[in-house]
Amino acid sequence: MHLAVAIFASALVLTLALDNGLMRTPPMGWLAWERYRCDIDCERDPKNCISENLFKDMADRLSEDGWRELGYVYVNIDDCWSSMERDKQGRLQADPKRFPGGIANLARYMHDRGLKLGIYGDMGTHTCGGYPGTNLDQIETDAQTFADWGVDMLKLDGCYSNESVQAEGYPRMSKALNATGRRIAYSCSWPAYQGGLPPKVNYTQLGEICNLWRNYGDIQDSWDSVLSISDWFFKNQDIVGPAAGPGKWNDPDMLIIGNFGLSTDQSRSQMALWAIMAAPLFMSNDLRTISSGARAILQNKAIIRISQDPMGVQGKRLLKDKCGIDVYWRPLSDNGSALVFFSRRNDMPYRYQISLSKLNYTTGLYKMYEVFMGKVGTVEDTSEFTVSVNPSGVVMLYVFPPVKHRQFHGNAKLHGPAHFHHHDLDNAIPPVL
């Protein structure tokens, strides 16, 4: 009897596993919610309402303005896209006025441009915006509908449901998506509705059924929101960090860079911290009007390479110094690493002194590339070096593996602050394999 139960349980786990081969590095793209919410007033606000035109506009920008080549390939619809009623066959359908061509046509538009289409659903009676949700008896129908439309990703929210419905529904949707035969990436909001932490949240199970999952509340267009989210993740890094890896990612929510709530330094901070967390990089902004400064941050090749490191290890906070500087670290492929120095101060740029040996780096001479300024420096592990960090800003370094002095092209051992100089990026950081 016990053996039979064990075999059944093992088969159940295998059946539920999300073996779709997708998102081996954190996904990148654009998502509507934070910037556009549930704006459905296409008569008064035609450029910004949730409609096929909005998503086609963003697809055009991704494909024409250099985003796609950097990895930003998902164009994701969020809430408020559907009709208030299912069709006569019980299937979800797009609002006919705002999406006259239908979702399948929109998916083709994306695919023709080398992009992918994401869509939104809810594991409950209604979506958060009050549109039709996915009840337990509708899971297989909705999964097949999304596959028939050519959808590439599903974000499944959890409004208007309860703990037991979510516990049954989220794994069932994973199985249903796999059963369609179409590879559809699966974003689960399940842990965010259960407090984000064990024992209510089982991160081993999430890694078996979801490609990514929302652990925490929605991001808002403010620095306070960015800070509260990142603080939660790093406070709980020993719990949530090990759950992440190729094909399964913690999701601290969207990048709000290019909107209204962040300064330039704060925008750099969000980008750097999200890269350290191996977080999905889904922008929620207006790519039609984005400033050159915001674009430069979001298109920074060095940070994207760190974010997309194929090893897929989520980084952690090493120090929270009493002077107001935090130090974050992420191990990277080929024995490289990333360091971020983040300032919680609000007075003036702070000159922070540290050595790599104090951060547990091994003995050796290191080359470091500062990703925002595009400068390279060399430093011995025991030598103190100084970084100047602006209030609510960051200094982010790509740290190459150590080399012996005689192999470092004649560079002498450094004493005191590292000397940084401008350097060509493509010669500084090896490309992602």
> 238 and 367 share a domain?
no
The domain boundary, picked from 260, 280, 307, lies at 307
Token representation of residue 388? 């100047």
pLDDT at residue 404 in the model: 62
> 134 and 177 share a domain?
yes
Residue 402 has pLDDT above 70, yes or no: yes
> 255 and 367 share a domain?
no
pLDDT tens across 21-41, in order? Answer: 999 999 999 999 999 999 999
> 254 and 323 share a domain?
no
Q: What is the CATH number of the domain that holds 85?
A: 3.20.20.70
pLDDT at residue 11 in the model: 36
> 299 and 336 share a domain?
no
| C-alpha distance from residue 426 to each of 204, 302, 369, 371 (Å) | 38, 9, 11, 12
Residue 105 gets the label, from left (phi > 0), alpha (psi -120 to 50) or beta, of alpha
Supply angle C-alpha 312, 314, 315, rounded to 5: 130
Residue 220 has pLDDT above 50, yes or no: yes
The domain boundary, picked from 262, 281, 307, lies at 307
Alpha-carbon span 10 to 242, nearest angstrom:
23
pLDDT band of 19, cuts 50, 70, 90: confident
Residue 210 lies inside a defined structural domain of this protein: yes
pLDDT at residue 429 in the model: 52
pLDDT band of 255, cuts 50, 70, 90: very high
Q: What is the CATH number of the domain that holds 402?
A: 2.60.40.1180
Residue 38 lies inside a defined structural domain of this protein: yes
Residue 433 lies inside a defined structural domain of this protein: no
> 298 and 365 share a domain?
no
Q: Total domain count for the chain?
A: 2
% the chain with pLDDT above 70: 89
> 300 and 323 share a domain?
no
Report yes or no on whether pTM surpasses 0.85.
yes
Residues labelled catalytic: 157, 218
pLDDT tens across 47-77, in order? Answer: 999 999 999 999 999 999 999 999 999 999 9
Residue 199 lies inside a defined structural domain of this protein: yes
> 198 and 231 share a domain?
yes
Range of the domain at 369: 316-428
Residue 6 lies inside a defined structural domain of this protein: no
- The arithmetic mean of pLDDT across residues 317-338, rounded, is 98
Alpha-carbon span 170 to 187, nearest angstrom:
10
pLDDT tens across 6-16, in order? Answer: 333 333 333 34
> 288 and 335 share a domain?
no
